[in-house]
Chain A
């Protein structure tokens, strides 16, 4: 009876996210006609369904559940089954069950969903709190021919001995170690939240040092006497594989968490990372790929209300791509763009020297019409960075660097942003420039940007050629479509003037990040990132002084003409 009452608690679910996952599932398995199954993951204490993942019937097994669970933060667990006409029960009793049907999902019919599922309210699932970040080293020796069994045992043993790990933050004077719930210290990390209006797990983190305790609680030992130390020497020539793994543990923490709750979540996170490592390697053994350690990477996929943790194996790019595709399908991630490339992972504690996506901090902008913005993060590259004095000639190089950073941060490449010299060398290599161009201070334009992107990244570009600044305004629709569909930053350059004019004229290369276009009146503004800035990377200065700002149509000189380079998305990008 009590259980029934509990099960009638109202849960929050984001129906749009649910429908989007189904759409992604459908795109991943377009020809599938069998039963569609699903799993709901959420936070039972908050009565929130955070994710609903759909899969084909053959994939719905304990292994899939375990792998998906291992990819989610420690406060998110399997909370329910999804029935799409055919009831398939997952292991254990789950507090919720979602009744879905194909029509409802395909038409994204929120009302139908809510009508069918009275236990739910549509709403935005909470996404707040901080991340506790720590690193734990883990080693195993796997016997030749028995790697799978030995790794399974090792992961189980790690879980059994996880009480060995203690986590310390000296500044906070907090030590998190195994203890009974009754001895928990309440609000153990609440001071981290003091004075912070908003905290997000991908932005706000606190680092703890993991220590491996040599001392254990011996109060419950069965015997008073310990065994003498032993030295076992094995010289049987057994072939083994030593694997050393460093796990980055990213643990969700809330203001009200007790020490018991935080420690439990850390241990759960450790378990999840090791399970993920296990599954990656079991899959490697099965498909005759090399076994080995994995890299812990954390992501915040678009529209997700939780972080995503993936253990990335050290495989060949072809194998990695196949692995990423598998994970995309399993987690209903879109297949038209990368989500879990290493370059997209969140660098906790690693502060970028550059300003990232400064336009996001523009406040109180009153739009004219509809905003069309590029999609995804980028870094702001401008004059005088990297100890290079490129004032007067390097604006297009900087614009290219900002565009390149977009491709990198959005997972389309792992290649580092090229330097001026590398850009010049590329143009020489493809025969566009003579050898003496390398090391010179010659400027480049939109065509060269396209050449470099094509040559080094395999990215094609479209070009818009205009006869005057006012024509740029007339091409606002094309830009809007570009931002809406492709979503890459656009480089715009004043063409056909001498370098001397460039330096004196102050009408050089810029990066367009979006347009604000009133279709009825034709009025338009451009979100411009200006690479001519020579100051320090100080966000407020960049914004208040207009180095990243919405510019009116007359920003473009009507007396000169501009070329625009619209980089496209590479194909087959997962």
Chain B
């Protein structure tokens, strides 16, 4: 059994494509190419060392230069590539003497979950793609020597490209894996992959061997937390103290912790003679509070895990609780941050500190598949985040099914926004300081030079996303029009890759909308619409406004509390203190980002946009709230999503 050894090329898509084109190549093309090949192949093999390097082992009977990877297919289903061959296809196969023994050419998985790749078999043919790769289709006027020179050059390029593809493929396979032995990685699907060396393996799965790095000032926090827990244990018999670890999943696989906030203890536990149940923190309590905390975090900053302070025996007894809690946190975090369209991270961390004298012990916990925990190193270092500054505005129209549920508002909001969120998350373009950047590049190529504290970001959606020429009538039975125009301040570790920064900005937008809708829905239950009373024919809901402050020691990380119309900045100050254990001066809480609508503006929003006057000249002296809203409506004129009857039917199924 060979497992991803010397030639672990596993580019499934290209291999399948090549296989398909190979099988269905027109007879004529293959025929002349075969003749051409027979004339030159021996000469090529003898004279060209570069091509020889590609032929491993060199075998004149094998026409493998630039060979398609048909014999290196990763086919986890074990399916054959040749099923459904027509008579014509078979005829062409015979003509060019194709040898494709599919049972031996695919990569498959055995009953020990080992991935195997059958090495190339004897081959006497080659595909159209092979020769096209060498530009031989257009070289009728070249001499044999020139053709050979060109092939040599192309072979070098192809060799490099192939190696890159191999590495990428192996990375994809190993990603999410854990080291089982020096030469074997178990990937997230449970398959075993052998790796060429320990070093190579480490590189491939680095993300999952990442360290936990606390920002330097948090070194003191551990001592302080230990003392606080010892007191609580002694005075209130509270067995464990839990802290939320706030930070980022860094691009290099490390976990960066910027702040730790204590999970509150239920009030009943603090009362004299409080019940033991309240004192024992359960997963529901911790995760519910975590959700409230996540709402306050900017995109790119997450609740990456839990800090657990207790005796060893309490910790051991609560290991399952920690895992369950992290799983719940991950689910609610995904709901808030990606509308459950993607996972922020399948791995969270726990940091156990044995009281009174223990050192922190880090564990990486795979919360989705409940795989084995991986101990990891903890360090303290000066960490730095950079701010991603942007704004986003849009108008989303969706006619959603009216469900007879008291969760109506929030569920409808989710339904209304999900298509937009999907488009946003899938969009591959974003501008950083007006520049296009490759998602695999670091945000700052030179770690020292040219680094900024903030980058301006422009984010997009695809205007053609799931759109085609179509039209249909529908009825406004439950038409949701979501209007937003908001500022974005996401944050990522300064050594992040562009991809992480893109996600951070997208996550910020979705999270702020989802968080506000959740809060609004919760307030509706209590105050406005008890029992889920139906609103009138047209109702306008104003979502809460943000009040922000920066995180201690990390000025790029902006924390947001959300205030309703009657709430004041003092409320925000108190909430921030309670949730983050972060007392802030009221002057440092900024609630000036947004304001509630004036009555006139409310009327304007209430009226159909089709009836809105179009104002192109906004330099008028009359500029006031009315003008501002008009301008806003024009700016939002292009619908970013309009899902009507499709969604209606889909959700009624």
Contacts and interface: CB of A to CB of B under 8 A. Distances in A.
Q: A and B from one assembly?
A: yes
Nearest to A281: B471
A349 to B, nearest CB: 15
A497 to B, nearest CB: 25
Q: Looking at chain B's contact residues, is the secondary structure mostly helix, strand, loop, or mixed?
A: mixed
Interface in B602-631: 605-606, 608-610, 614, 616, 618, 623, 627-629, 631
B32 A228 contact: no
B464 A136 contact: yes
Contacts of A160: 614, 616, 634, 637
A222 interface: yes
B594 A226 contact: yes
A242 interface: yes
B470 interface: yes
B390 interface: yes
A226 B487 contact: yes
Interface stretch (A45-53, A290-298, A500-508): A290-298
Interface stretch (B211-219, B300-308, B454-462): B454-462
Given A242-B645, A385-B26, A536-B26, A212 B475 contact: no
A288 interface: no
B522 interface: no
B476 A237 contact: yes
Contacts of A294: 469
A224 interface: yes
A521 interface: no
Contacts of A156: 614
Nearest to A225: B595
Interface stretch (A23-31, A96-104, A167-175, A565-573): A167-175
Contacts of A143: 608, 610
Interface in A175-220: 175, 209-216, 218
Interface in B526-554: 534-535, 537-545
Interface string B454-494: 00011111111101111111111111111111110000000
Contact of B26 (A150, A175, A209, A387): A387
A166 interface: yes
B40 interface: no
A241 B473 contact: yes
Nearest to A224: B592
A432 to B, nearest CB: 26
A485 interface: no
A211 B473 contact: no
B391 interface: yes
A405 to B, nearest CB: 18
A214 B463 CA distance: 11
Contact of B477 (A232, A235, A295): A235
Contact of A216 (B391, B520, B601): B391
Given A228-B542, A241-B471, A536-B26, A387 B89 contact: yes
A500 B159 CA distance: 50
B89 A175 contact: no
A153 B610 contact: yes
A229 B429 CA distance: 25
Contact of B538 (A135, A228, A232, A314): A232
A388 interface: yes
Interface stretch (B7-15, B107-115, B392-400): B392-400
B120 to A, nearest CB: 26
Interface stretch (A13-21, A243-251, A299-307, A416-424): A243-251
Interface in B213-252: none
A236 B610 contact: no
A157 B635 CA distance: 9
B484 A229 contact: yes
A149 B610 contact: yes
A435 interface: no
B523 interface: no
Those 9 A-B pairs whose CB atoms lie nearest each other, nearest first: A157-B637, A229-B484, A211-B460, A137-B467, A161-B637, A293-B469, A214-B392, A212-B463, A234-B479
